[in-house]
Chain A
């Protein structure tokens, strides 16, 4: 069975601080996808990134960066110079790349990030 663990339930930072959200996953699949989603106070989850298990390159998009380490089964998300608008619940998720679980996401518990001005 697949499992995603986000051990940090809540994180509170002051604006301009860097913050890292941890994500650890379990899967028996050799090919899979990892994701991050953001849920702002409005409630609508927004897709941020998808990473294929074959691609361990880190990715940077503006103030966001993602560190995928297959050896430790982790897919961590860092926000640099955080802003108040980054306040949200962030979810890490996992999907098989084939078979009957294709396209079905297993989500972590979520991390509530609060950025104070």
Chain B
């Protein structure tokens, strides 16, 4: 069974803390994505990666960075968490040349106090 696994379902952090959200996929997919989901706004793309060590900004990259050192792992980093980054974070992966068929993880709900 194919799977995208996000390391933490729930996190509570304080303003200014550095936060790491980890995502691992076991499908050997080239493409990986980080979205955030907020009520009334749907999903918004933060960053995506088409290959190891490759990354591109999505629609809302400010305040975030990413790391992809291995094909199966894509990490989202909040250098200095702020309260407006309280949200649900969704990781996804997809194979090359199959447009838009994303496989999602269960999400990481981050609360920043």
Interface residues of chain A, those whose CB is within 8 Å of chain B, are 4, 6, 9, 33, 35, 37, 42-47, 50, 91, 93, 95, 97, 102-110
13 contacts between A and B (CB under 8 A): A4-B42, A33-B99, A37-B102, A44-B105, A45-B43, A46-B104, A50-B100, A93-B100, A95-B99, A104-B33, A104-B58, A109-B40, A110-B42
Cα A43 to Cα B104 in complex, Å, equals 9
Q: Which residue from chain B places its CB closest to the CB of A9 in the assembled complex?
A: B40
Cα A100 to Cα B48 in complex, Å, equals 12
Contact with A along B4-35 (1 / 0, CB 8 A): 00000000000000000000000000010101
Complex contacts, A37 vs chain B, CB 8 Å: 102
Q: Which of B31, B90, B103 contacts A103 (CB 8 A)?
A: B31
Given A42-B106, A104-B58, A109:B41 Cβ within 8 A: yes
Complex contacts, B103 vs chain A, CB 8 Å: 47
Complex contacts, A4 vs chain B, CB 8 Å: 42
Asked if A50 contacts B101 (CB within 8 A), the reply is: yes
Q: Which residue from chain A places its CB closest to the CB of B44 in the assembled complex?
A: A107
> How many Å from the CB of A93 to the closest CB on chain B?
7
Known pairs A42-B106, A44-B104, A107-B35 / 10 extra A-B pairs, C-beta < 8 Å = A33-B99, A44-B107, A46-B104, A47-B103, A95-B99, A102-B99, A103-B100, A104-B58, A107-B44, A109-B42
